[in-house]
Amino acid sequence: MRDWLNIQELAPVKARAAARLVLHPHITNIQTSWVKMGPEGAAACLNAGANDLGGTLMNESISRAAGTEHGQEFPPEAMEALIRSLGRTPEQRTTLYGPVPAERREASLNAADLAPVVLTPPRKLVAAE
């Protein structure tokens, strides 16, 4: 993992660390976003206090339209490998942090790859007369 010295990249990491210290035990799950920060940034946040790696997305476009370079696809296998590389045990959870039924977990691990995204160029709207 590269050095996280850029202040814009370091701020979200510090925010997760501060959230863990200030909010625990009242809020026990602190999430990080691989969509916004990429795998390296998410790993830095997980090491700084976050304990929840945001879920999978399909053809996410909002963050990419805002200029992020990440966020198109991060399959469950890759997410689990990242988590294991940090010495942690991955576990899929529901939105309410409950256990995921075995058949849903299996379905997520056996999902087909996404089709390539077709990015159409923006068009300038012309005002109606």
Which of the four pLDDT bands, split at 50, 70 and 90, describes residue 25? Answer: very high
Amino acid occupying residue 33 = S
Can you give the pTM of this predicted structure? Answer: 0.77
As beta bridge partners, residue 99 has 93
* 62-72 pLDDT tens trace: 777 777 777 77
